[in-house]
Amino acid sequence: MLGGELQTVREYLGLTGDALAAILGVQPRTLRAWERSRDPIPHRVREKVEAVEQMTARAVGQVVEALKNARDPAIAVYRTNADLHAARPDTTQLTARWWRHVVARAAHEVPGVVIGTADEIEDAVKGP
């Protein structure tokens, strides 16, 4: 894996450098050195990044299926990591930004999806 690929995949996943560094168990400066090709990237990093890619793809697939099966497809996004982790405890290593990328990818597959915070969606359903 080259630095340019690592940075591209990280950005595609919607992860900040700090978030991916935490997932990989390295310091953010180490990740920056890899992305800038200053230091070689260990082989184990590719395996971990591929695992995050697979987990993200599964999350996108699950959201797509849920939206396709919904009468009025809507999905909540979160403004903060704390909000995401409170609503979805299985995402503690991930960020609200990552979730918004998952939602955007899923919404691309299902036309007419309403995307908003839980409060925004609730207000939209209630109407004025």
Over residues 34-51, the pLDDT tens digits come to 999 999 999 999 999 999
Number of domains in the chain: 1
Token digits for 59? Answer: 């999350």
What pLDDT does residue 18 have? 96
Q: What is the residue range of 91's domain?
A: 3-126
Structural contact between residues 125 and 86, judged by C-beta atoms closer than 8 angstroms: no
Q: Nearest CA to 52 among 89, 86, 85, 22?
A: 22
Residues 6+ apart with CB under 8 A from 45: 1, 6, 24, 34
**Residue 88 belongs to a domain with what CATH number?**
1.10.3100.10
pTM of the entire structure?
0.88
What average pLDDT does the chain have? 94
Which residue, chain included where needed, has tokens 């960020």?
95
Longest dimension (CA), the chain: 57
